[in-house]
Amino acid sequence: MAAIDIGVKGSFADLFGTYYTQINQNNPANLSGKITTIDIYIGNDVTGLIVAIFEKVNGLTFTARCRAVIGDLAAGLHEGIEVDLDVVAGDYIGSKCATGNPRGNESAGVTMYIQAGDQTECVEELFTTQAHAELYLWGDGAEPAPECH
């Protein structure tokens, strides 16, 4: 089985907080299968954190494929959070929280997709882009094992 990865690990800077669903533009899923763990960096304590996988329908339009309710996390780096997220090669990872804010990278050459409100169950929702920002949100997992015949 090959390893799947999705999202970005990077440096830390405050990003948008509670009002937006944020999707990393860089490093879409390299394979199809299951994301089983995520790493995320939290700037200020968060409540109601949800991590979701998004299919890019076209242009800036996304549909949420599935989501995992993580809940409340204290500020800092959290590695190896267990999740069960279906992913298809080319999908993107994003998040939304009720309070607090995730952290990420604010530098030239990076961009993320944003949309107001909780879009973690959206269907064909139009997002916009935010230049010079990306989440520190990364997931990994594996392709499903081949079935025995």
pLDDT digit string, tens, across residues 9-57: 765 555 555 678 999 998 999 999 999 999 998 888 889 999 999 999 9
**Cα maximum dimension of the chain:** 51
How many helices (DSSP H) and strands (DSSP E) are in the chain? 0, 13
Q: Which of 38, 49, 44, 58 is nearest to 15 (CA)?
A: 44
Domains of the chain, first to last: 3-140 (2.60.120)
Under the banding of pLDDT at 50, 70 and 90, the label for residue 102 is confident
Q: pLDDT at residue 130 above 60? A: yes
Low-confidence winner among 3-7, 9-13, 33-37, 81-85 (lowest mean pLDDT):
9-13
The more confidently predicted of residues 145 and 88 is 88
The more confidently predicted of residues 77 and 65 is 65
In whole angstroms, what is the distance from residue 10 CA to residue 75 CA?
16
In whole angstroms, what is the distance from residue 47 CA to residue 115 CA?
19
- Give the SS3 label for residue 11: coil
Q: pLDDT at residue 148 above 70? A: no
